[in-house]
Amino acid sequence: MISTTVIYTTLILGTLITLISSHWFLMWMGLEMSMLSIIPILTSKSNPRSTEAATKYFLTQATASMIFLLSIVMTMMYSGQWSILHTNNQIVSSILTLALIMKLGLAPFHFWVPEVTQGSSLIAGMILLTWQKIAPLSILTQISPVINQTMIISSALLSTLLGGWGGLNQTQLRKILAYSSIAHMGWMLVVMNFNPSISLFNLMIYIIMTISLFATLHMNNNLSTLSLSNVWSTAPPAIIIILLTLLSMGGLPPLTGFSPKWIIIQELVKNNNIVIPTLMTIMALLNLYFYVRLTYSTTLTLFPSTNNTKIKWYFNNSKKMIIIPPLMTLSIMSLPLTPLFISLS
């Protein structure tokens, strides 16, 4: 119990140190604390698959950290300052952007994300796809005026394409959500140069929807599309949650997930970019396809069962559902609050 508390405290402190710091070394230290503290979480279930996932995660993140540290040293050489405000060299900012893209798992450095998520538990996968994205994305937001626009937009378009394409033939829910994360990160990155606050707004909506979906899957112990067909018999209320959250993640109006896509497209068009939002919208249809396929597996199929098991859900512990209703409400009904979110950001 004590070790678990220390691990999660270190994980939270690492991200917070990165968020509140303007000193490059402290930012790097916060990223390292987050990386080292999540490895025991990934290996909480001792088996070869989780060990493999933790090893892949460590090697990728360690490589990104070395590149990140290289850019920090080069910033010190060129400017003589450790402050993030003195990052003006284009070469340094490109190397820094490359390191952060690797840490976020964006294309073309996205291959580790599905494998690590699949090898870990649902809770560890949820932390990996939500909390671990906050610190690198906050650094990208702070250096957004000097980052290479061509590199960012190219990575965003490629992430949206591969995030949708990679999830088409998957049957494991954790891999599907990992590819979904890659695609959503592409949407956050494409608007980074124009309005970083919209990227943070998109991140907030994505985290709420992802936690809601992971919590529901964890409650019913669903790991594959085949197991979703049995949810009708074990937890009918979860069907509505999974259905609406999946459609919201696909960006269908009038659900919450439509809000960030709508604002991003509007911002890009406002900056005289027509081709990029058109391509992003077309590639988003790939994501929508496997969301609808999961919806079909959940709602339109019924696993063969006896009459006795169809009332099994009445005896479930209702305390497990405490956190899910507010998350579901935010995940599917927050579209009217979009102007408020924009004004706050």
DSSP string, 155-215: HHHHHHHHHHHHTTT--BHHHHHHHHHHHHHHHHHHTTTT-HHHHHHHHHHHHHHHHHHHH
Structure letter (DSSP) for residue 224: B
Q: Is the peptide bond before 40 cis (omega within 30 degrees of 0)?
A: no
Which residues, in sequence order, are CB contacts of 91 under 8 Å at separation 6+?
74
Return the sign of the alpha-carbon dihedral for residues 225, 222, 103, 249: positive
Q: Which of 103, 255, 256, 279 is nearest to 187 (CA)?
A: 279
Under 8 Å between Cβ of 194 and 156 = no
| Residues of the chain falling short of pLDDT 70 | 300-321, 341-345
- Residue range of the domain that includes 108: 2-344
Tokens encoding 172 = 């494991």
Dist. CA 201–CA 141, nearest whole Å: 12
Structural element, H or E, at residue 330: helix 324-333
Taking the CB of residue 153, how many other CB atoms lie within 10 A of it? 19
Residue 345: burial class (beta carbons within 10 Å; 0-12, 13-18, 19+):
middle
Question: pTM to 2 decimals?
Answer: 0.91
Residue 253: its pLDDT value, please? 84
Considering its fold, how many domains does the chain have in total?
1
